[in-house]
Structure 1
């Protein structure tokens, strides 16, 4: 019985210690309250469709009608395509014709 209590207390203290250590680290999924976000290092506060979120620092914005798929890759939205191979401008697919060289 005493051994079970010792194991239970040890387990409880490990859980409490781990939880308190994790709460002192930067937030992975920041909570925004009263229009103030707690962003981790390497990110900054940004707004999309009226909602605040944490965006990565030092990333160039994607061209108009494009969305960021990763830190390095932008892709044109549905109904649009890149005008040239340099992938710096999206044009409507309904305009017809091939992209200009």
Structure 2
């Protein structure tokens, strides 16, 4: 009676050949057999998705690879662009946090800050833009760098207006000797919106 279980085991093993033993991708198969999962085939004695298909998270379906960023998806595995994932509600591949989509939708580029490398304007954050000639994020428009940030009103925020009463003689003497200082002070006041 010792031979019975061996014979039974051999028969059960033979019946399972050619179909994925557990019906999921990644299970053993026979090269001349077929796999149970739709759009899968036996490759190197393992059930795998055919062509460009990718296995689902539970390994029970073959899903098509998404057509790049903004392509339709059901699961993250379909989004093959590095640093992308499947957005749950829109069912589109998008860049993960900390990355932005390139204009041509082909790659996810890292978000850059002032002085950091960039290829496109969308990468630059915090009032910066990408300088094509420098390849780094620089302050946008009339803003300028101060203390590691882009500012537009540094002077008006840090200057105080002090009103001093001066006699006409002292005032003309001050004007004659410090004409350049007065011009700077007036420019700061105009920039600050004081009239």
- Quick check: TM above 0.5? no
Tell me the TM-score normalized by structure 2.
0.27
Tell me the TM-score normalized by structure 1.
0.43
The higher-RCO structure (CA 8 Å, 6+ apart) is 1
Structure with more strand by fraction: 1
The structure whose Rg is larger is: 2
